Chains A and B, each alone.
Chain A
Amino acid sequence: AQSVTQLDSQVPVFEEAPVELRCNYSSSVSVYLFWYVQYPNQGLQLLLKYLSGSTLVKGINGFEAEFNKSQTSFHLRKPSVHISDTAEYFCAVSDSGTYKYIFGTGTRLKVLA
């Protein structure tokens, strides 16, 4: 069965510093990959997604992620974070041809002034 691992439960980082949030998934079959963000007391919203094609995916708010099939990873990066990026970030995967989604346990990003 498919699974998603987010290795860091919390990541503190200073404002304007770069950040990487890590995500690994278990299956090497054809998958769709997503990153969602959840701001306090809100639902989730899509940051970016990988379906096929270029392995570097750009999303909203300056975030990007790189799909690495050999390492089954989909790490999220931002070169310079802002206080407003403080939120919880979820990686999710869906196997091609299915309607099931598997989410990771989330990474809390805290941006410090």
Chain B
Amino acid sequence: EAQVTQNPRYLITVTGKKLTVTCSQNMNHEYMSWYRQDPGLGLRQIYYSMNVEVTDKGDVPEGYKVSRKEKRNFPLILESPSPNQTSLYFCASSFGGGDHEQYFGPGTRLTVT
């Protein structure tokens, strides 16, 4: 089944403790992206990747890191999480950027205390 998977689905952590949210797709997509969803703010793009080893900042990259060492994986790293990063995170992938449909993962609900 074609899908985007994210792990973990739920995570509660404390301020400053490094964490990684994994994202993997099995559709051979070149483009992958991370979003955060907050009430009243909709989805905001954090980082995106056009291909392996090619990444760029979205609108809200501060406090996040990404890497794209393999085509199928695009992990999101929070090196020192803070409470304002408490949010619902979505990974998405598509065949290309811009004019292509994005396929979204199920989401990761992160709480930072």
Contacts and interface: CB of A to CB of B under 8 A. Distances in A.
Contacts of A100: 45, 48, 58-59, 97
Interface residues of B, number: 26
Interface string B60-92: 000000000000000000000000000000101
Contacts, number: 63
Interface in B14-69: 31, 33, 35, 40-45, 48, 50, 56, 58-59
Contact of A46 (B33, B102, B107): B102
B42 A106 contact: yes
A42 B106 contact: yes
Interface of B: 4, 31, 33, 35, 40-45, 48, 50, 56, 58-59, 90, 92, 97-99, 101-102, 104-107
Given A36-B104, A49-B99, A103-B44, 19 more contacts: A6-B42, A32-B98, A34-B101, A44-B102, A51-B99, A90-B43, A94-B97, A94-B98, A96-B98, A98-B98, A99-B31, A99-B48, A100-B58, A101-B102, A102-B45, A103-B42, A103-B43, A105-B40, A106-B42
